[in-house]
Structure formats: C-alpha cells, structure tokens
Amino acid sequence: MTTESTLKSGLAPVRAQHHLSREEDGDDREQKLDRIVPQGGHVSVMPKEVLELLAIKAGDVVLDATAGMGGHSESMLEAGAARVIALDADPAAVEAARKRLARFGSRALVIESNFKNAAAALAGAGVNEITKALFDLGWNSTQLMAGRGFSFMSDEPLNMSYGSTPASGFTAEQIVNTWSEKVLADVFFGYGEERYARRIAKKITEAREAAPITTTAQLVAIINDAVPAAYRRGRIHPATRSFQALRIAVNDELGSIEKGISGAWEMLVAGGRVAVITFHSIEDRAVKRLFAALAKEKRGALVIKKPLASSAEEIAANPRSRSAKLRVIEKI
C-alpha cells in the first residue's frame, strides 16, 4: 500500500519544477477538472487525429488502455483493426464498453484493469505483442455523476477512486484526515499547481480537529474559507486544483502513466506506435519526459514534434476537448 512517505518521494520531481514558496504567484492557465459533460453523454476526444497518427490499418492489434465508454475502440475497429484489447479500472465503464463493442464479437475484448497493469492484462489475455496503443487520460464524463467525490458541484463521499479500490491504497477522505499539513500542501501544489496550497492545507488540518472531513461539500467549504475572496470569484472554481491534486494522488496517476506506457512499449512491435492524450500540464510533462527519454535512447522516434491540440471545430462541439494534447511516438 502506498503511504504518505512514499508519496513524498513521488512528489520530488514535481517540486523540482515548482517552488512551493511561490504559491501566491501562481496563474490560472487552465481549469483542470471542470470537464464539461456534453449533451448526449461522453464524446471521445480527437478521434480522427488518433486514427490518422496511430495509422490504424487492417491487421493491427491495438491496446486501448483507457476504454472509457468504448468510443476510441469502436472507431479503431471500424477502421479495420484486427483486434482491440480495451482496459478500464471502472467496472461501470467496462460494462458500457462491452455493450458498445459487442457487435465486433471476438475482435473486441474489454478487461477490468488499471492501465498501469497493461502488460499483465495483455499477457493474461494471451496477447504477446501489439502494434498500436492508445492512452486517453481524460475523464469518462459519466464519472462526474458516479457519486465518488470527483465533482465539487455536488455533495458526495470523499472517495475519488476510478476503480472499485484506489490504485494508491487510500481514498481522498483518508488523505485529508490523516496526512500532515506539510504533505497536504505539497500534494495540492505539486499535483494541482494550487497557489494557495499552504492556506488550504492549514485550514484542512484545523477543521479535522473538530470533526472528520467526509464529504465533498465539507471540503469545498473549507477551501472557500481558506482562499481570498477574489480567488473565489475567479475564472475557475476555487476547489478545482485541490480536487485535481487529490484525484491524482488517490489514483497514483503519474506513477500509473509511466508504468502503463512502459509496459505497453515493451509489448509493442518495431514500427508500432503509442498515442497519449493528456488533459492537464502535469500529465503532459510526464508523457513528454518519457517520450523524450525513449527518443534519446534511440528506441523511439516522435511522430509529431509538438503535441497536437483539438481543432476549434471540435472544441465548439465538445468543450471538454479544449485542454487536450495528443503526443505520438513510434518504436524503432
């Protein structure tokens, strides 16, 4: 089980890029968690670009490491992929993807698994090699309404785990009620780029002395009380960055990204490609570093030098795509 001490070491690379003493001077570059759910449900991001840059073709064996509602898997199967193995940690997403992909029969396999265990999941399914892989690190939009504490707009239990059990071993409730003020501040700043990280951490530790913090509404009220009035009236909800940080910690997202992509890479054939869609700068930096290391080692070649963003037309039709960035690498 991951502990507070191991999280401290995991935060080290993040702190190296951001100095906590500058928290009052942060910016409002992006709203990280306010992913708008489109009318009609979840819509896959950059589907045409994914097909084009992965170069999906007949005979491909594809890992869709983050199945969601099955949209990308469906488009890749329709484009001629011989088989798609789709993973998702969320049992509800697995069920939805299975229903959506049922018409493809044995060409589609959906497995309940966190993408950090991609290599083991593939091996367990009898798949020894893949030709393409996709990691869409965005939300399955229905998760905002899953009652697990992802949304700061409703009152829910403080869980924040994508799967039936948290990948890190602890829930958001356990984090806010047991971790030290200093580590909480590091988490909020390192994973959420929250400028008022120290103030929020201090208020949380004070509040929990009176009573445990168990719901999102309680946490939002504490955050609102911790930050200046001008921040509460700002462009984004004042709880946005703190909720992002907790979600990343609960689901061990940065560690999972590296482990999952590395595992898929080892099973990728020469000439195969990996595409990753990120939705905030911390994720994107992690993927950029990983791809750069592979390129430097002459193990991979960047298919596009800079990340691809969603088109204006897609953003207009699907606002949640506005912060998406797509990176693609080919194995040498």
pLDDT on residue 151? 84
Residue type, position 151, single letter: S
**Widest Cα–Cα separation across the chain:** 61
**Residues forming a β-bridge with 83:** 61
Q: Which of 38, 72, 224 is nearest to 141 (CA)?
A: 38
Which residues in the chain land under pLDDT 70?
1-42, 139-147
Query: In Å, what is the CA distance from 112 to each residue of 117, 132, 233?
Result: 10, 20, 40
Residue with tokens 């699907």: 318
- Domain parsing of the chain, residue ranges: 4-29+168-250, 47-142+254-331
Please give the helix or strand (H or E) that residue 4 lies within, else none: helix 4-17
Q: Global pTM?
A: 0.83
By the 8 A CB rule, do 182 and 233 touch?
no
* Topology annotation, domain 4-29+168-250: DNA polymerase; domain 1 (1.10.150)
**Class level of CATH domain 47-142+254-331:** alpha beta
Q: What is the DSSP annotation of 138-156?
A: S--GGGGGSSSS--TTS--
Find the Cα–Cα–Cα–Cα dihedral 78, 127, 44, 193, rounded to 10°: -160
The type of residue at 207 is: A
Q: Is 285 exposed, middle or buried (0-12, 13-18, 19+ CB in 10 A)?
A: middle
- How big is the CA angle at 295 (ends 293 and 296), to the nearest 5 degrees? 65
Q: What pLDDT score does 21 carry?
A: 35
Neighbours of 22 (CB within 10 A): 10
Fold equal for 4-29+168-250 and 47-142+254-331: no
272 neighbors 330 (Cβ within 8 angstroms): yes
8 Å CB contact between 144 and 37: yes
Q: What is the pLDDT of residue 318?
A: 87
Give alpha helix (H) positions in 211-268.
216-226, 229-232, 240-250, 253-267
Residue 140: what pLDDT?
60
**What 8-state DSSP symbol labels residue 323?**
G
Q: Please report where in the chains the tokens 């084009």 appear, as a residue.
A: 52
Q: Which pLDDT score, from 0 to 100, does residue 42 have?
A: 59
